Structure 1
Amino acid sequence: MPMPRCQQVCLDDTPYYHCVARCVRRAFLCGEDPQTGASYEHRRGWVERRLLFLASVFSIDVCAYAVMSNHLHLVLHIDSERVKNWSVVEVLERWHKLHKGTTFTQRYLLGGALPAYVIALAEAAAEIYRERLMDLSWFMKELNEPIARRANLEDECTGHFWEGRFKSQALLDETALMACMAYVDLNPVRSGISDRPEDSDFTSIKKRIAAAKSSNQPTILFPFVGNPRQEMPNGLPFKLTDYLELVDLTGRIVRESKKGSIDASLLPILQRLNISSENWLCIATEFEARTGRVVGQELSIDQYCDSHQRKRHRKSTQLLI
């Protein structure tokens, strides 16, 4: 039986989650259908634009993404503190970018003198929207539903385009986060869509590399802010240069099938995260196959199971790092 989403997402455990949405049957998100020759490549742009738009609306940051032929990979960060600081007006303005809201919320944004009951109803609605704007399920709903409607219209059909539920994995620590991001960013390379990360269209790694050439980071993606330290700014707890080097070297090893022959320059960051080079290669290339609902090192998983009063289950909690 599938686990309720509310039990899979717990911000007390981690704000980081790996989400995967897959198309039903033989529906194509993008790419080419080898049987009919039809091209759906333009749909990649639909997904990327919608995803980055939602990142500007929700209090959810995009750490990594890859748009594949019949599925989508995301690594997301839920910022529960930022949304608490939004005013009622900002919450309503953000929600109205997605939906019309109610008559009361519309009147509230127009300003002017309003009856007390209108203000009360608008503020109550804003609190509901505030919760939704940090909710993983709402984020995926707002991403998937418009794409499904548009694809069905183009295909002149009705019915489900996506599988009933998106898959989510809790990334409990830095090790799990780094491995999952590398796995997502290298998806096009492993599948043969691209030869190099910087040429992988509609991926986060391409955006990061393009911005890095100008010594910048993409403003729409969750930034790298360096190694953990006191007064840490909000962002990914790694150096961007370390991460790009790690992805590039891992990608080279995957393509050349050189298990165990990892470049020496890869070792420092792996040592910092306490990951063996052999296990890194395994987990970075087979993340979904090797992991379950929660992902982390043994100590992180034990703490998770204790806090949720669950027994350690091999399939649902394993991570070979």
Structure 2
Amino acid sequence: MGRALRSEQFDPAEISMMHCVQRCVRRAYLAGVDPQTGKDYGFRREWIRRRMEALASVFGVDVLTYAILSNHMHLILRNRPDVVQAWSDQEVAIRWLRVFPGRRLEEHLAEPTENDVATLARDKERLAEIRHRLSDLSWFMRALSEPIARMANKQDECTGRFWEGRFKAQAIADEAGLLACAMYVDLNPVRAAMAETPDQAPHTSAYDRIKADQGDQIDSAAFDLVPVDTAEAGKTIRETPVEALKERRKKKHVNPSGKRIRRDGWLAPFRLGKKPASDPELSEGGVRASDKGFLDLDWGDYLKLLRWTAKQSDEGSGREVPEGMQSVLTRLGIDLSMWRDLVWNFKRYFGQSCCAGSPSAMGKFAESTGRHWSKGQRSVAQCFAA
């Protein structure tokens, strides 16, 4: 069975959650120490994290969890067409121009002006297409991957493909699949022996949330969503030397909006609130699409379960989750003795499947795409209570 079509997995016009994986094609590492050359590319992880953070401030996409490893990265994303529809035409225009400024005579001057924003906002047909793209996970991943590939190629002094191909997308079929996938993503560095615990695994969403609880703050990478005054921009270009303009833009790139935020401030909030599902919960901070959570579980309880699961590194099932952490798994129908196996062997159960979740949810997803069943649906049944 070939890989499912993107149109079968998600629709930018409908809210959906996807587990996305992008893998580097080269022998040289995406990040970390390359065993062939001895070069350490670990700093590229921060390139990727900051790019994700910047895109979270302009796209109608919530970043739920992520992990950046040596030669690939995992993200769980939720597209938010309801959020994009609530933005004004001017907001849509400035957000798009910040990421895709278009061809200009002077690339280092590619700052959207008030005139640029007004011109785009008047083009209703073009704007409708842009609204669609701002909640499209494929466009989000494109805006994330392409700049990283160009920067890495320039640094490596080479050309050609940097990524293995199009990113792998796997639909999250229900809350059970979301919880298991979130822990699988957060524990990837532990599984890869890059860290002993989630607390020691930088460039993961769990690490960011743990550090944020300890009061850690960072310079925000969010785009500045205020257009440049057209007249002032013209005056600056005429009177400022090109090298000075380049240097000014380089400094602004470090902290475009001048904000400092919690380390996890750009990620989606953890717990799903009690507001109606129809409420988009627009973010007022300008650093993420919305303030809507994604799991019916407190962060503290998730962290306890995550730390316990991280310690169960040896192969085998049959270890029941401690009593204080059992209620959420029981509610989701997960066999307590199989929880460790479901997370640590997530790839075994769901690696070839177009979706992840309970057997019933996987079956419903298969029906929605014209199939009779989803790969892995039968084998994962052993991880769920009858």
Give the TM-score taking structure 1 as reference length.
Answer: 0.88
Query: In structure 2, what is the equivalent of residue 209 of structure 1?
Result: 210
State whether structure 2 residue 291 is matched by structure 1 residue 220.
no
Query: In structure 1, what is the equivalent of residue 220 of structure 2?
Result: none
Query: In structure 2, what is the equivalent of residue 6 of structure 1?
Result: 7
* Alpha carbons 1:23, 1:29 under 8 Å: kept: yes
| Aligned residue identity for 1:235 | G
User: Residues of 1 paired with 2:35 and 2:335: CA distance?
Assistant: 39
Query: In structure 2, what is the equivalent of residue 260 of structure 1?
Result: 318
User: Residues of 2 paired with 1:159 and 1:168: CA distance?
Assistant: 23
5 Å-filtered alignment, 1:132-147, equals: 132-147=133-148
Q: How many residues align?
A: 312
* Alpha carbons 2:366, 2:374 under 8 Å: kept: no
* Alpha carbons 2:367, 2:373 under 8 Å: kept: no
Query: In structure 1, what is the equivalent of residue 259 of structure 2?
Result: none
User: Residues of 1 paired with 2:184 and 2:152: CA distance?
Assistant: 27
* Alpha carbons 1:95, 1:129 under 8 Å: kept: yes
Segments of structure 1 that go 5 or more residues without pairing to the other structure are none
Query: In structure 2, what is the equivalent of residue 305 of structure 1?
Result: 366
For structure 1, which segment, 130-139 or 206-215, has the greater mean C-alpha deviation from structure 2 after superposition?
206-215
Query: In structure 2, what is the equivalent of residue 156 of structure 1?
Result: 157
State whether structure 2 residue 332 is matched by structure 1 residue 273.
yes
User: Residues of 2 paired with 1:33 and 1:27: CA distance?
Assistant: 6
Q: Quote the offset at 1:306 in angstroms.
A: 2.7
Deviations for 1:86-109, whole angstroms, at most 9, x for unmatched residues?
A: 111000100111112589x96754
SS at match of 1:84: helix
* Alpha carbons 2:30, 2:72 under 8 Å: kept: yes
Residues 101 and 151 (structure 1 numbering): CA distance in 2 closer, same or farther, change over 3 Å?
closer
Deviations for 1:81-139, whole angstroms, at most 9, x for unmatched residues?
A: 10111111000100111112589x9675465xx8xxx865x222221111111111111
Deviations for 1:24-72, whole angstroms, at most 9, x for unmatched residues?
A: 1413110111122111111111111101111111110111101000000
5 Å-filtered alignment, 1:159-170, equals: 159-170=160-171
For structure 1, which segment, 306-315 or 210-219, has the greater mean C-alpha deviation from structure 2 after superposition?
210-219
Query: In structure 2, what is the equivalent of residue 251 of structure 1?
Result: 310
For structure 1, which segment, 302-311 or 128-137, has the greater mean C-alpha deviation from structure 2 after superposition?
302-311
SS at match of 1:192: coil
Query: In structure 2, what is the equivalent of residue 235 of structure 1?
Result: 293
Residues 313 and 65 (structure 1 numbering): CA distance in 2 closer, same or farther, change over 3 Å?
closer
Q: Quote the offset at 1:77 in angstroms.
A: 1.0
Residues 148 and 101 (structure 1 numbering): CA distance in 2 closer, same or farther, change over 3 Å?
closer
Residues 102 and 126 (structure 1 numbering): CA distance in 2 closer, same or farther, change over 3 Å?
farther
User: Residues of 1 paired with 2:337 and 2:266: CA distance?
Assistant: 33
Deviations for 1:279-317, whole angstroms, at most 9, x for unmatched residues?
A: 221121122231111112122122223333312143588
SS at match of 1:225: coil
* Alpha carbons 1:22, 1:166 under 8 Å: kept: yes
* Alpha carbons 2:12, 2:133 under 8 Å: kept: no
For structure 1, which segment, 267-276 or 149-158, has the greater mean C-alpha deviation from structure 2 after superposition?
267-276
Deviations for 1:243-289, whole angstroms, at most 9, x for unmatched residues?
A: 111111100112x5574333222212211211112322112112223
Residues 148 and 279 (structure 1 numbering): CA distance in 2 closer, same or farther, change over 3 Å?
same
State whether structure 2 residue 85 is matched by structure 1 residue 89.
no
User: Residues of 2 paired with 1:309 and 1:206: CA distance?
Assistant: 39
| Aligned residue identity for 1:240 | W
| Aligned residue identity for 1:96 | L
Query: In structure 1, what is the equivalent of residue 347 of structure 2?
Result: 288
Q: Quote the offset at 1:164 in angstroms.
A: 1.4
SS at match of 1:139: helix
State whether structure 2 residue 375 is matched by structure 1 residue 314.
yes
Q: Quote the offset at 1:12 in angstroms.
A: 8.5
What RMSD, in angstroms, separates the aligned Cα atoms of the two structures? 2.6
Residues 172 and 110 (structure 1 numbering): CA distance in 2 closer, same or farther, change over 3 Å?
closer
Give the TM-score taking structure 2 as reference length.
Answer: 0.74
* Alpha carbons 1:29, 1:70 under 8 Å: kept: yes
User: Residues of 2 paired with 1:214 and 1:272: CA distance?
Assistant: 32
Residues 201 and 217 (structure 1 numbering): CA distance in 2 closer, same or farther, change over 3 Å?
closer
Query: In structure 1, what is the equivalent of residue 78 of structure 2?
Result: 77
| Aligned residue identity for 1:168 | A
SS at match of 2:29: coil
| Aligned residue identity for 1:197 | P
Give percent identity, aligned residues only: 37
